[in-house]
Each structure stands twice: as C-alpha cells, then as structure tokens.
Amino acid sequence: MADFEPRIVGFACNWCCYAGADLAGTSRFNYPPNMRIIRVMCSGRIDPSFILKAFHDGADGVFIGGCHPGDCHYMSGNYKTQKRVVMLAGLLSSLGIEPERLHLEWVSAAEGQQFADAVTRFTARIKELGPLRIPHPKVEDEHAIEPA
C-alpha cells in the first residue's frame, strides 16, 4: 500500500475556496496533485448525492471547501454545508465508510497557503486510511438483483 495514491474529489466554493486554490497555484505553493476540483457557486449547493456519487464512482476521499462562517456570499450556504457534512458523516459511518474520508475546510480567497496545507493534510490522512473499499452486504437470495 506504499504505492497507494488516493483519488480525491474536491468541491470548492467559487468565491472563497476556489479563489484560494487559484492563489495557491499562482503562488506556486506545493501540495499533492491527488485532488480534482469541481467549482461550485456556493458550498451550500453541494447536494449530498454528489458526495455519495463521488465515493460510489471511486473517490477515496471528498474535500469540501467553503467560505468562513459569516462570509458566505449567499448568506447561509456554508451553514447548510456544515449541517450536511455532519449528517453525511453519520450516513457514511452507517454504510461502513470511515467518516474521516469526508472533510470540510473553510478557506478564504486570500488563504492560498491554508488551502495547500489543508489538501496536504487531507491527502496524508486518506493515505493512512488506504483505498476505499465499499462493503457490499451478503445477499442470501440467489434471485436478488446484483449491484450495478
């Protein structure tokens, strides 16, 4: 597992975290290249199904970056995100997936170094956890529908 390179999906708020990621890149801050960023207008627009689909489709971790509390351009999007992450952590746990594979970070547009540090820490944590293995329940009924 020493060769394991995690696949991480990152959802980044357009106004803060995405701008922070851009600053990290233009400032040439070093951080692992494992994360693929999806820009969203607000972290509050990230539907829980997006997170579950990312894991289903092979992500080893999901990173959500949003505006600091009180700084959301859409007033309460980041508060909604925080509640959803708590809910999703419980759901992931009940599905047999470590809740630590989902991470929420507040990053402003001026915090490029913080973004790079957060991605570095999260990537290291996912490396420690190893590849995601989604447990599939045993099916006793031979006529049951198999997962796609």
Alpha helices (H) in 13-111, listed in sequence order: 17-26, 48-56, 77-94
Beta strands in the chain (DSSP E): 8-13, 35-40, 61-66, 102-106
The model's confidence at residue 148, banded by pLDDT at 50, 70 and 90, is low
What pLDDT digit, counting tens, does each position of 74-133 carry? Answer: 999 999 999 999 999 999 999 999 999 999 999 999 999 999 999 999 999 999 999 999
What pLDDT digit, counting tens, does each position of 31-44 carry? Answer: 999 999 999 999 99
Q: How far is CA 88 from the centre of its chain?
A: 11
Question: What is the rounded average pLDDT for all residues in the chain?
Answer: 94
Q: Is the pLDDT of residue 25 over 60?
A: yes
Q: Is the pLDDT of residue 147 over 90?
A: no
